[in-house]
């Protein structure tokens, strides 16, 4: 646009300047015509012919009004020269100007039509270009989104392989939170809750945070959003926690971390919610439906892996746990006792062993039946667990016998623990076939390394002490060295 304005400006200056100059030359030539008529007449013809160029420049600069005005001026000047020079042939110049003006009008009109047509074509091309550009950007964004989806789902294969490689529950949980945060992205935190079936509450199993954020939180049971997913068994996406109508009137505790948007998905196995997988961010409108769909897929994979880990853990527990009493079995007890004896030898610390036997247990079975005997075994197992501390290990050694080892406990302390157990058993009342009954227990105590340095020797001494307690009337605690 500025180029056209400059072009018209130059044409206007040239037309007006040329008119002044040529007018001056014509007056000068008319004055000099007296001295050499033929020579100056030819010059006047040449100068008057230049007026055609001035008309063209005026038309270009001022449009039709300027072109016609300059045509009239040119005719006036030509007629004036004809009168002044008394040469009637200059009258033809006026006719020539009119013809030239008409041709110039036709020429510029065609040029204007062509320019307008070109302008329309240019605008159409520009509009087409813009449409193509918008479409191209749309396709580019779609391609980017598809590529992102492709790589997301391609990486799911790696997640499946990692989850399949381990049956350890802590390891499976760690992989789930780490890979979920990586695959879905857009999140500050990934939280994984497992369901406490007895209390029907969520318990935080693992948390993963982006670099620079604190990965520890005080709240271990989830909030209203996690409870919503647990109870409704549905995925949840919130773009703004404060504006969501489902939770707008409720207060959310955000002391641990600040979040404004979140996506969450339940882990469902056999119609039961076994956990909740959640991502949240401190900004609003972060997540899309595609993110929630991907989280659902990960949650489904995680549910299978968690269930497998639970089953494996249960299988291991069954392999080392007595089905009746819930205590550890003889084989596992021996493995642990051997390990603890090696540790005690390295650290030069004490370890005490208690061998326990229910007094006259066969009589209970004969009198009340085996079901009553099972009740007694279960009850005494609970008493043993109640009387022990963290780190102590109790097992059903066989039949009505129980074995306990107490790491880092000397003989005197072990004897006191045994007495505590004996009294607790004696005070417990059992209901056997609607009859109140009491039982007693005899205990033998042996200590590493006073009574033995290997498991077999220590067990032998504890058995001898137990036999001694039986010989002295039962319901008694005896020590191997006494």
Per residue in 268-286, pLDDT (tens digit) is 988 889 899 999 998 999 9
Contact present, 332 and 344 (Cβ < 8 Å): no
pLDDT at 340 over 70: yes
Contact present, 465 and 480 (Cβ < 8 Å): yes
* Percent of residues, the chain, with pLDDT higher than 90: 27
Higher pLDDT, 21 or 393: 393
* Mean pLDDT for the chain overall: 81
Across the range 121-126, mean pLDDT stands at: 84
pLDDT at 62 over 80: no
Per-residue confidence (pLDDT) for residue 412, from 0 to 100: 92
Across the range 403-413, mean pLDDT stands at: 93
pTM: 0.55
pLDDT in tens, 155-179: 667 777 777 777 788 888 888 888 8
CATH topology of domain 330-479: Alpha-Beta Plaits (3.30.70)
pLDDT tier for residue 386 given thresholds of 50, 70 and 90 = very high
CATH topology of domain 166-318: Beta-Lactamase (3.30.450)
pLDDT at 382 over 90: yes
Per-residue confidence (pLDDT) for residue 45, from 0 to 100: 66
List, edge to edge, every strand of the sheet that includes 236-238.
Answer: 201-209, 189-196, 272-281, 261-269, 236-238
Across the range 364-374, mean pLDDT stands at: 79
Choose from 107-121, 134-148, 215-229, 419-433 the range with maximum mean pLDDT. 419-433
Give domain limits for the chain: 2-120, 166-318, 330-479
Contact present, 470 and 460 (Cβ < 8 Å): no
- Say whether 330-479 and 166-318 share the same fold: no
Question: Which residues have a catalytic role annotated?
Answer: 400
Per-residue confidence (pLDDT) for residue 423, from 0 to 100: 93
Own/partner pairs, 168-173, CB within 8 angstroms, 24+ separation? 168/309, 169/306, 169/309, 169/310, 169/313, 172/302, 172/305, 172/306, 172/309, 173/205, 173/206, 173/306
Q: How many residues does the chain have?
A: 482
């Amino acid at each position: 646009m500025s180029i056209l304005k400059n072009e018209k400006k130059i044409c206007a200056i040239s037309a007006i300047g040329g008119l002044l100059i040529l007018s001056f030359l014509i007056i000068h030539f008319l004055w000099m015509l007296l001295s050499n008529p033929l020579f100056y007449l030819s010059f006047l013809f040449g100068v008057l012919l230049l007026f055609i160029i001035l008309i063209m420049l005026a038309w270009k600069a001022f449009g039709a009004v300027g072109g016609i005005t300059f045509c009239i001026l040119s005719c006036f000047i030509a007629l004036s020269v004809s009168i002044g020079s008394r040469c009637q042939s200059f009258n033809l110049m006026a006719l020539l100007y009119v013809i030239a003006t008409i041709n110039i009008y036709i020429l510029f009109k065609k040029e204007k039509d062509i320019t307008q047509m070109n302008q329309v074509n240019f605008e159409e091309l520009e509009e087409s270009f813009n449409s193509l550009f918008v479409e191209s950007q749309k396709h580019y964004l779609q391609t980017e989104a598809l590529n992102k989806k492709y790589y997301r789902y391609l990486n799911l294969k790696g997640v499946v392989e990692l989850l399949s490689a381990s049956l350890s529950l802590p390891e499976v949980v760690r992989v789930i939170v780490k890979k979920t945060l990586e695959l879905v992205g857009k999140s500050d935190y990934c939280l994984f809750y497992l369901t406490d079936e007895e209390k029907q509450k969520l318990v935080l199993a693992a948390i993963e945070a982006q670099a620079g954020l604190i990965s520890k939180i005080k709240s271990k049971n989830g909030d209203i959003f996690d409870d919503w997913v647990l109870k409704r068994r549905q995925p949840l996406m919130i773009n703004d926690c404060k504006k969501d109508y489902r939770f707008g009137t409720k207060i959310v505790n955000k002391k641990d971390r600040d979040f404004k948007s979140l996506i969450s998905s339940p882990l469902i196995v056999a119609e039961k919610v076994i956990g909740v997988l959640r991502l949240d961010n401190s900004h609003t409108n972060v997540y899309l439906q595609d993110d929630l769909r991907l989280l659902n897929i990960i949650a489904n994979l995680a549910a299978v892996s968690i269930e497998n880990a639970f089953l494996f853990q249960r299988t291991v527990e069954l392999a080392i746990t007595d089905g009746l009493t819930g205590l550890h079995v003889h084989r596992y007890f021996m493995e642990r006792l051997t390990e603890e004896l090696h540790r005690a030898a390295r650290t030069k610390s004490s370890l005490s062993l208690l061998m326990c036997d229910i007094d006259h247990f066969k009589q209970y079975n004969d009198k009340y039946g085996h079901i009553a005997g099972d009740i007694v075994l279960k009850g005494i197992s609970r008493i043993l667990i109640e009387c022990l501390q963290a780190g102590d290990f109790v097992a059903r050694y066989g039949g009505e016998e129980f074995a306990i080892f107490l790491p880092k406990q000397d003989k005197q302390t072990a004897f006191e623990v045994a007495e505590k157990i004996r009294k607790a058993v004696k005070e417990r009342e059992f209901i056997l076939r609607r009859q109140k009954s009491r039982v007693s227990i005899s205990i033998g105590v042996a200590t590493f390394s006073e009574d033995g340095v290997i498991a077999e020797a220590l067990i032998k001494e504890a058995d001898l002490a137990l036999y001694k307690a039986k010989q002295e009337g039962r319901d008694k605690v005896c020590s191997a060295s006494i």
